[in-house]
């Protein structure tokens, strides 16, 4: 992958009405410092930091139908921890992340989160589990520890419960994004391949189909796609018979790669639409004939910006086997970076869960220099506002890297690859 040099930015005629994202999203624990051994003395650097450790509990789905989300997040969390500790920690404090598997179930996720929330040594909680999150509002109500979304998943509970902090778009925005992308790229007939394991997948696709119809893009129906299926010949043939020229893959990339390969083998000649953890550059790059447009809630990993170069370098050094060329991964990184910047701006004399909450509520119009798709502001006693921006790109098998699609107006004030596209609203 190219690290230096400017990247070509494509402009789609007519622009985009909206671009959004979708994060597809006894328990075992694992301190990320044991996931991959650092090779440059990062541990000795962390040990030399004078402050008491800042302890973070990370609830991530590392098994089950959407395990790729949590496993990718774990790799990113480890790289961020090691890089941060090797570069002074946070205000002189080393960070220690304990990642625990939620097993992609509501009981599993609830047990993990409660264990972190009741442990007074845990200063902040991060979470990645699209299956469980929307059913956990009551678990989070009245929380005295900051709970930070490590990817988009859904707006519930992130934009409904105070004390929870979302900095990337949720699935509710994604359904319209697929339709807008289809419209902007000239699609006439849009099909939906959605995860069978998550009820909201089908619901959102139905809403997306209704929205697509208002744009003049004909919906051809939804096919439920199970991660455990042996092949996807039947749904692929159904799309082909209906003349589908664009398929929105509302599924994780490990399933999506198999689905796309099967459809291409059956003779599908249209485009695939991807988003967030539904896309992995390396995986789809291996599928001959694959053509796609995508949206990403996490910043473009191919950008030349120094902060993005830092992300790539950190992943290569500390988590070389982690899936990092995906919006799920970059969303996790930016969420940890926001946590770090909030504390560094607030400069509390003591870092504990109360100080973290206070620091997060001091975040105002923050974009992390373009790593966030839109400026975020948090207000004490109020839930987060939905994020309505993301990035759009084109990627075909054989491409060295994705090509950004430039927005008509930058949603986050950034330029080049980091300039985001936002949904048009009436307010």
SS3 per-residue string spanning 189-204? EEEEEEECCCHHHHHH
Structural tokens at position 359 = 């620091």
Structural tokens at position 406 = 């430039």
3-state secondary structure of 38: coil
Structural tokens at position 179 = 């339709």
| Dist CA 159 CA 59 (whole Å) | 19
Written as tens digits, the pLDDT of the chain (427 aa) is 333 333 334 433 333 333 333 333 333 456 554 333 333 444 545 557 989 999 999 999 999 877 888 999 999 999 999 999 999 999 999 999 999 999 989 999 999 999 999 999 999 999 998 788 889 999 999 999 999 998 766 788 999 999 999 999 877 787 788 888 888 889 999 999 999 987 778 888 898 899 899 999 999 999 999 999 999 999 999 999 999 999 999 998 899 999 999 999 999 999 999 988 789 999 999 999 999 998 899 999 999 999 999 999 999 999 999 999 999 999 999 999 999 999 999 999 999 999 999 999 999 999 999 999 999 999 999 999 999 899 999 999 999 999 999 999 999 999 999 999 888 664 4
Q: What is the dihedral of CA 145, 146, 149, 150, to 10 degrees?
A: -90
Residues paired with 54 in a beta bridge: 95
Structural tokens at position 30 = 């694992």
Under a CB-based contact definition with an 8 Å cutoff, are residues 220 and 263 in contact? Answer: no
């Amino acid at each position: 992958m190219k690290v230096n040099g400017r990247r070509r930015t494509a402009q789609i005629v007519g622009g985009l009405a909206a671009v959004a994202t979708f994060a597809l999203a006894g328990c075992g624990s694992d301190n990320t410092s044991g996931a991959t051994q650092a090779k440059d003395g990062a541990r000795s650097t962390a040990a030399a930091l004078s402050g008491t450790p800042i302890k973070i509990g990370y609830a991530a789905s590392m098994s089950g139908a959407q395990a790729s989300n949590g496993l990718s997040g774990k790799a990113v969390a480890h790289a961020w921890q090691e890089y941060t500790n090797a570069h002074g920690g946070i205000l002189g404090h080393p960070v220690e992340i304990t990642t625990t598997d939620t097993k992609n179930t509501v009981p599993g996720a609830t047990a993990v989160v409660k264990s972190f929330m009741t442990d007074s040594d845990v200063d902040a909680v991060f979470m990645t589990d699209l299956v469980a999150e929307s059913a956990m509002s009551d678990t989070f109500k009245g929380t005295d520890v900051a709970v930070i979304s490590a990817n988009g998943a859904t707006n519930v509970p992130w934009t409904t419960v105070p004390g929870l902090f979302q900095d990337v778009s949720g699935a509710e925005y994604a359904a319209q994004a697929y339709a807008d992308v289809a419209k902007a790229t000239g699609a006439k007939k849009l099909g939906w391949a959605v995860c069978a394991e998550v009820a909201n997948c089908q619901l959102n696709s139905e809403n997306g189909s209704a929205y697509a119809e208002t744009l003049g893009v004909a919906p051809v129906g939804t096919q439920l796609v199970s991660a455990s299926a042996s092949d996807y010949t039947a749904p692929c043939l159904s799309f082909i018979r209906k003349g589908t020229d664009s398929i929105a893959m509302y599924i994780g990339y490990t399933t999506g790669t198999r689905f796309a390969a099967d459809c291409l083998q059956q003779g599908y000649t249209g485009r695939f639409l991807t988003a967030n953890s539904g896309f992995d550059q390396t995986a789809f790059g291996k599928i001959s004939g694959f053509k796609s447009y995508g949206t990403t809630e996490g910043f473009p990993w191919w950008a030349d910006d120094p902060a993005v170069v830092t992300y790539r370098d950190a992943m290569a050094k500390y988590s070389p086997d982690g899936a990092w060329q995906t919006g799920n991964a970059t969303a996790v990184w930016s969420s940890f970076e926001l946590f770090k910047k909030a504390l560094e701006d607030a400069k509390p004399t003591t870092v504990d869960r109360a100080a973290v909450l206070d620091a997060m509520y001091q975040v105002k119009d923050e974009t992390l220099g373009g790593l966030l798709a839109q400026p975020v502001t948090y207000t004490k006693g109020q839930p987060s506002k939905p994020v309505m921006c993301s990035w759009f790109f084109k990627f075909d098998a054989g491409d060295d890297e994705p090509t950004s699609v430039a927005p008509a107006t930058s949603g986050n004030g950034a330029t080049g690859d980091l300039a985001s596209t936002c949904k048009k609203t009436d307010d």
